[in-house]
A and B are shown apart, each in its own frame.
Chain A
């Protein structure tokens, strides 16, 4: 009788020794001049990634977006509740940067009235009245990141209005609404992808690793889920949300709905990857050495597919953001008083906006930019993670 337990412990010890040895060699080689031969996989990916300019720009844009979302209340000059009805439907304001030859951003004061024929709001700048834009100005109180009470804002004016992207029908600043709306739009991507990642990674790896009826079952479920066209399926699921639920619960439910459908891509790709990996020698070795399934999955398979997971989730993010915007745009997702890019676009969904107030469609531009940035970043990461491309 072979004592499997002792033997497996012995192999584990050997494995750890080997690891330690590898690391010390790598360390030695790195300290010497010959870096190229000893760089780790992650380092190689990084080097490849930063050579891809567009991907780097995408990454920076995304970082900026998330940073702004994090500090949204600080960056936005106004709160969601500030209605300046005297300035409703104001088109994006022109900002002047230099006054009397030195840097001093300002806007002109505005006189509002109605066009006697069309009854549209018109605003005439008053050249006599320059309103300087002040930085770190005291505004309406808010809670930074929902935690710290504060009232300092990045910029603002003491009188009149500063509105970089115009105002809506109720006189709310579009720039502030877009910035604050990004909190929901961007986090729905993050949270949704995280959820679908958990489901997808678990099911995908299990499917590929165990094979047989488990594989069959999971793959058929994936096919069923995928065979539904996504938009009608989302519509059906979100229509089932009771209308009297509080907004926050609706938000989380919609995130869950999106991720319940979004996990299939990840699961399928991981299955393929794992199908190839499980035939590799090191897996065979681990299995022969008596490692449990859990050990193999979590210690070998998931780390080996990690780069893949990152790439897929980066590429899944824009789909989530787009899904939220699409659903809200159709009036099935989030509803006011929640503010997201989709909600803002929904409000721009009429012909008078198209014909008369086109700046209310600017949230669409932000959706497009964030999605492009995510796609560029994802592409760059995929190229970097793939060892077969040069």
Chain B
């Protein structure tokens, strides 16, 4: 369904472009000068002589955004809420401009972004990028390949800023080599074919460095940052550089639709204003964005943010809106004039459970490493009940694996050990020698007491309800379990340092987990099914603990994935990894694809009624927030 819509849109696009070209051929250059139009406020500035003409601000071939609903109108302030400086994504995902763009439909290939074309040569060892000619930073300075080489040599390879370059740029232990051909052409050369460059390197990590606290990127404004870089200016140190390069710096030039103009210590709102040099247009030649400015109000508490949203205080937002409030939104939407959409979130499971297979305790580790134990724990859970209690019946009871929108999805894996069958659970537990005592609780095979602690963060009420239900279900099949929750700071440290027996998390990455495969196999310390093995893999065997053979096989498969450029072959490997993961129940899922509650003002247009959100895809960044508009 979705695909066909794009094709129709594609046909419209082609015919429109033909029309534009024909008009251009038959009219003379005077017509071409009026090809583009701009926001009224910018027009005034052009007339006053404080800003160059729109034709001079746009690149030679600006990116044309196909509207989701219709061509828009200029003007308006987009009100949103966020929870503070750590909540950078509340802003950042709406101004996400990488080198190559993720497609709107995740099954499509990666799309052109700042780079208009790219090609592989040398059997996958060389990637040539062609930038759009005439791109400009928000201060009007040209955007060129120098901004990429500055990032690579002075940020990514500078150990004062980046301890080690990101994995997608280090193939076989060799960092990539850059060859700047001209201002708009650059070649990336790798020691071996690089299967991660397009998706991870240029789409996911291809943004302006550092994207809030994520500290990844692919370019940075050389002309502005050079003066604050200790390599070029002895008078400053790296803390100055970090401050100037940081996203919250209001002076820093950007390539995004809006640029932060108001933010600082003690501020209670973040204001971002239109970038007059933005490089996208609509099919009618109107320079984007339509909306004048974004205003994000600071809320200390998610509850307060939700209350504001219920009162219609936001024009379009789903971040930090809790599903439990859905009834309240439905009751109030008409009186406050907004619409409510339910967008599925690409979460394999809203809350998932990792039995730590690299835990120090030998007895527990042996139990947790037994697939039958994890299968038993999985079928002991009544997922329908959890869906009703915590997610208003809106989620999908399922195993922990990729969602149907993923290119690696196969229908059967979703239901592996996802049925509710306590009898089977008891039988499996009996089989592996965990005998039930007179008190109804099981002991370890050596007869000693079996007790597990499930740890989690201070989640919202619905998630804590689910956690309590799962812990109760495990007690019901005789595995003595208790739960503990704590603040995120304490929890994260305990989990990544291999101290938690059963960790929990709300894990996204269920469309393309290969981009950051932390839940597929022990990839790094964030892989809580075995953080110590993950550390071992990340450090190439220097740190952590050596994993058992079944994990090593998966690691070898991923190593192979990394050096495969052919998309079909990559897909084969990924599917194999995903299937192995599901069969072994490395992570236990309960209810997934729980929807986001999306609050959309009645006047706010170009927002689709359904859309699968995922953090890897920076949702809603792929919807082109620059073409949202107010129909007033």
Contacts and interface: CB of A to CB of B under 8 A. Distances in A.
A88 B390 CA distance: 10
Contacts of A347: 461
A349 B303 contact: yes
B191 interface: no
B527 to A, nearest CB: 22
B267 interface: no
Contact of A351 (B306, B453, B469): B306
Contacts of B303: 349-351
A349 B303 CA distance: 9
B306 A169 contact: no
A144 B616 CA distance: 54
Contacts of A351: 303, 306-307, 310, 325, 328
A243 B464 contact: no
Q: Which of B325, B326, B484 has the most CB of A within 10 A?
A: B484
A119 B468 contact: no
Interface residues of A, number: 26
Contacts of A83: 469, 472
Contact of B483 (A169, A337, A352, A356): A337
Contacts of B490: 243
A85 interface: yes
Contacts of A170: 389, 465, 468-469
Contacts of B306: 351
A160 interface: no
B326 A119 contact: yes
Interface in B304-320: 306-307, 310
B330 A350 contact: no
Interface string B474-513: 0000000011111000100000000000000000000000
A88 B325 CA distance: 16
A244 B453 contact: yes
Contacts of B394: 119
A353 B307 CA distance: 12
Nearest to A89: B389
A142 to B, nearest CB: 15
Contacts of A243: 484, 486, 490
Secondary structure type dominating chain B contacts: helix
B389 A171 contact: yes
A120 B327 CA distance: 6
A331 B458 contact: yes
A114 interface: yes
B324 interface: yes
B172 interface: no
A292 interface: no
A102 interface: no
B326 to A, nearest CB: 6
Interface string A46-84: 000000000000000000000000000000000001010
Classify chain B: how many residues form its interface, as a range. 35 or more
A163 to B, nearest CB: 16
Contacts of A2: none
B392 to A, nearest CB: 5
A88 B389 contact: yes
Contacts of A115: 327
Given A169-B390, A347-B461, A118 B327 contact: yes
Contacts of A349: 303
Interface string A297-312: 0000000000000000
A336 interface: yes
Interface in B271-316: 303, 306-307, 310
A34 interface: no
A330 B626 CA distance: 40
A120 B393 CA distance: 10
B584 interface: no
A249 interface: no
Nearest to B325: A352
B460 interface: yes
Nearest to B310: A351
Contacts of B83: none
Contacts of B310: 351, 355
Contact of B324 (A81, A244, A350): A350
B461 A169 contact: yes
Contact of A119 (B327, B465, B469, B482): B327
B605 to A, nearest CB: 24
Given A169-B461, A350-B303, A356 B468 contact: no
A351 B322 CA distance: 10
A325 B253 CA distance: 50
A6 interface: no
Nearest to B491: A243
Interface string A332-358: 000111000000000101111001100
A43 interface: no
Interface in B330-381: 330-331
B385 A85 contact: yes
B497 to A, nearest CB: 13
Contacts of B393: 114, 119
Contact of B482 (A88, A169, A337, A350): A337
B191 to A, nearest CB: 45
B599 to A, nearest CB: 14
Interface string A98-141: 00000000000000001101111000000000000000000000
Contact of B330 (A88, A118, A171, A336): A118
Contacts of A119: 326-327, 330, 392-394
B428 interface: no
A120 B325 CA distance: 10
B473 to A, nearest CB: 10
B383 to A, nearest CB: 12
A352 B461 CA distance: 10
Contacts of B327: 115, 118-120, 352, 356
A114 B486 contact: no
B609 interface: no
A331 B458 CA distance: 9
B388 interface: yes
B462 interface: yes
Contact of A355 (B328, B392, B458, B483): B328
A114 B461 contact: no
Given A169-B465, A337-B483, A356-B327, A350 B460 contact: yes
Contact of B326 (A88, A118, A169, A335): A118
Given A85-B469, A244-B484, A356-B327, 13 more contacts: A81-B472, A83-B472, A85-B385, A118-B327, A119-B326, A119-B393, A170-B465, A244-B453, A350-B324, A351-B303, A351-B328, A355-B310, A355-B331
3 tightest Cβ-Cβ pairs between the two chains A and B: A118-B327, A243-B486, A118-B330
Interface of A: 81, 83, 85, 88, 114-115, 117-120, 169-171, 243-244, 331, 335-337, 347, 349-352, 355-356
16 contacts: A88-B389, A118-B326, A118-B331, A119-B326, A119-B392, A169-B462, A170-B465, A170-B468, A350-B324, A351-B303, A351-B306, A351-B325, A352-B324, A352-B327, A355-B310, A355-B331
